[in-house]
Amino acid sequence: MEGFRGKRVALGPEGSGTEQNALQLLEANGLKVTDLGAAERIDTADAVTKMKAGQLDGAFFTVGAGSRARARPARRRDRASSSRCLACRSPDLIAKVPFYWLDEIPARHRIPSQAAAVSDAVAPRPAPTTDNADEAAIYGLTKALIDNLPALRAAHPAVSGLTVDTVLRVVTVPLHPGALRLYRERNIQQ
């Protein structure tokens, strides 16, 4: 993260989850927004466009590990300059914000110039529903997700680190009664 000091960096749109993740990562790595050369509050598409144009030195992307957004800045016309993921001191972030956990972005995963694997902080997002959603339907959906975690992990890198033990780690809102019933039946604890 020290590589962002004095650089032009996109933090995500103001008030967004991406901005919050960026601020948390900066703080955990001993940096403030004022340590950056310039901080832009823009969305992913604008950040990618500006990185390709050489108008930004870096950007925070709160996206799934398999997202093509990570690779787009790497396809700049100026091949002498290459994109890469910056390693962060994630244990510091995890100590301060415990709903994150460590995962790994494999070498060359969507970014051909990324020669080595990089530790990355992961913060999965729960699937929201409404209070009046059918309890049996939510129970069935939750059961299908839990029962098929191995297949989901194999299908997409964004959930490769998700386990039954971590599935409730980031839930900060009340659970739907249908989901809660399955978690109690399986003795899955928050």
The answer to whether residues 7 and 39 belong to one domain is yes
The answer to whether residues 116 and 158 belong to one domain is no
The answer to whether residues 10 and 31 belong to one domain is yes
**Residue 13 is assigned to a structural domain of this protein:** yes
The answer to whether residues 167 and 116 belong to one domain is no
The answer to whether residues 76 and 36 belong to one domain is yes
Contact (Cβ atoms closer than 8 angstroms) between residue 139 and residue 179 = yes
The answer to whether residues 105 and 17 belong to one domain is yes
Residue written as token pair 């020669």: 115
- The one-letter amino acid code at 181 reads R
Residue written as token pair 């033990």: 165
The answer to whether residues 162 and 97 belong to one domain is no
The answer to whether residues 153 and 106 belong to one domain is no
The answer to whether residues 81 and 116 belong to one domain is yes
Contact (Cβ atoms closer than 8 angstroms) between residue 68 and residue 156 = no
Tens of pLDDT along the chain (190 residues)?
Answer: 778 899 999 999 998 888 988 898 888 888 999 999 999 999 988 998 998 899 999 898 876 555 555 444 444 444 334 445 555 555 667 777 766 666 666 776 656 666 777 766 666 566 778 888 999 999 999 899 889 888 887 876 666 667 777 777 666 678 889 999 998 999 887 6
Domain range for 100 is: 2-122
Beta-carbon count within 10 A of 150 CB? 9
Cβ-Cβ contacts under 8 Å for 108 (sequence gap 6 or more): 114, 115
**Total domain count, the chain:** 2
CATH code, domain with 53? 3.40.190.10
Helix (H, G, I), strand (E, B) or coil at 38: strand
The answer to whether residues 58 and 36 belong to one domain is yes
**Residue 117 is assigned to a structural domain of this protein:** yes
